[in-house]
């Protein structure tokens, strides 16, 4: 490597190449007549760098000098605030070519940002958020009575900070709360109904909303899937029901789109006792267009609101004194009934629209009555001999 000679005007800095095997580059530096230091471009040889400085010195002497790039390193763009960068992350994920973020998921992220993260970190520049800041926020927010919401917000914050690390905006993520990296345990444990409870529940539900709740309880449909059914999705002769879309609420507006996962695109069958009711319902449906929604709001066209279906459900659960039962719990009842009829875990996975047996097993319930029946059958097979 050549050593640049000392000069009366300017200096030449040797800049080693970061690529192995390549020659170093030489960068001229000088002080202009205004007293400010300037850098020239990097040259491949010392001679080129010297010639550059000779030309600059001549221009200064002839009073025709024009300044070029100052020596100060270019300033890195100011780091964004968490609120701004989180929105950038959401937009990038929604527009990525592979597995773009669903609009409903983006809405949930924005809700977590608005309710959980923005009050503490929204206006804070991301490189100023420390590990202690995150630890204190997590502990304080969890103690306020909504740990699940806090945990979900933390997972989103962690993903945003990981993107910031990858983009070179911060050196490391401040999200290192011990034990907070997994999904939170659900606050509400799924419940199931016995046949007797289910009969009493349905009897107490307003007749207008009985059929959609029966589809949830016997076909394991989610609320949004029930409300997204079209006339063309139901075959009353065979009981075949095809789930191809669902209703969701995004930023306060009800939207119709694909179900939450690929596995949710599925076909299930309604029990035979449901088919006459479906046939009558379709026959009396005011809109004969096969693409029309099966269950609608009172205007006969808009999707049935989740709150309306929930209000009908509340009448049913109150009648059987099950105050914590949710509409979503009806899926567990459907899975449990299917298991009791001999359905395999794989079949229950298809019924529920799940991709893993672990999740499907959560919805199965070894009802106490069923366990007693199994024990009684064992006694019958073994006989009455005591041991």
Q: Which residues are catalytic?
A: 222, 328, 331, 354, 363
CA dist., res. 334 & res. 348, Å (int): 9
Residue 371, CB half-sphere, CA atoms under 13 Å: how many? 4
Contacts 24+ apart (CB under 8 A), 248-254: 248/104, 248/224, 249/104, 249/306, 250/103, 250/104, 250/107, 251/107, 251/110, 254/302, 254/303, 254/305
Residue 67, CB half-sphere, CA atoms under 13 Å: how many? 11
CB 370, CB 340: distance < 8 Å:
yes
CA dist., res. 88 & res. 92, Å (int): 6
3-class secondary-structure state, position 104: helix
CB 227, CB 327: distance < 8 Å:
no
How far is CA 93 from each of CA 98, 159, 247, 363, rounded to the nearest angstrom? 9, 11, 22, 31
3-class secondary-structure state, position 308: helix
If DSSP states are collapsed to H, E and C, what string results for 269-294? ECCHHHHHHHHHHHHCCCCCCCCCEC
Residues 6+ apart with CB under 8 A from 64: none
CA dist., res. 193 & res. 175, Å (int): 41
Within the chain, strands assigned E span: 11-15, 25-31, 37-39, 234-235, 240-243, 246-250, 253-257, 266-269
CA dist., res. 26 & res. 52, Å (int): 11
């Amino acid at each position: 490597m050549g050593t640049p000679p000392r000069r009366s005007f300017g200096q030449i800095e040797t800049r080693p190449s970061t690529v192995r095997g390549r020659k170093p580059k030489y960068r001229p530096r000088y002080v202009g007549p205004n007293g400010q230091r300037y850098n020239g471009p990097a040259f491949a040889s010392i001679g080129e760098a010297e010639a550059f400085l000779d030309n600059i010195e001549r221009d200064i002497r002839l009073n025709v000098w024009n300044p070029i790039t100052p020596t100060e390193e270019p300033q890195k763009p100011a780091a964004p605030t968490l609120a701004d960068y989180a929105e950038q992350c959401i937009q990038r994920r929604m527009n990525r070519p592979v597995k773009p973020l669903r609009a409903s998921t983006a809405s949930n992220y924005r809700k977590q940002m608005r309710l959980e993260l923005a009050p503490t970190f929204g206006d804070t520049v991301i490189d100023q958020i420390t590990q202690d800041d995150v630890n204190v926020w997590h502990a304080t927010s969890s103690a306020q009575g909504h740990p699940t919401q806090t945990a979900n917000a933390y997972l989103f914050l962690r993903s945003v900070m990981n993107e910031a690390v990858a983009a070179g905006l911060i050196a490391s993520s401040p999200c290192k709360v011990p034990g907070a990296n997994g999904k939170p345990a659900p606050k509400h444990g799924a419940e199931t109904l016995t046949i007797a409870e289910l009969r009493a529940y349905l009897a107490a539900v307003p007749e207008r909303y009985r059929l959609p709740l029966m589809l949830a309880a016997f076909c394991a449909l989610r609320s949004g899937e029930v409300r997204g059914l079209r006339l063309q999705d139901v075959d009353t002769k065979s009981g075949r029901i095809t789930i191809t879309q669902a209703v969701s609420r995004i930023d306060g507006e009800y939207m119709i789109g694909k179900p939450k996962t690929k596995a949710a695109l599925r076909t299930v069958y309604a029990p035979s006792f449901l088919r006459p009711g479906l046939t009558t319902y379709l026959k009396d449906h005011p809109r004969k267009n096969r693409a029309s929604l099966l269950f609608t709001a009172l205007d006969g066209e808009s999707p049935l609101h989740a709150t309306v279906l929930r209000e009908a459900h509340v009448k049913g659960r109150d009648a059987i004194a099950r105050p914590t039962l949710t509409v979503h719990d009806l899926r567990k009842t459907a899975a449990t009934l299917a298991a009791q009829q001999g359905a395999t875990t794989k079949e229950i996975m298809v019924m529920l629209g799940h991709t893993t047996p672990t999740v499907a097993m959560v919805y199965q319930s070894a009802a106490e009555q069923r366990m007693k029946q199994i024990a009684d059958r064992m006694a019958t097979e073994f006989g009455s001999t005591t041991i």
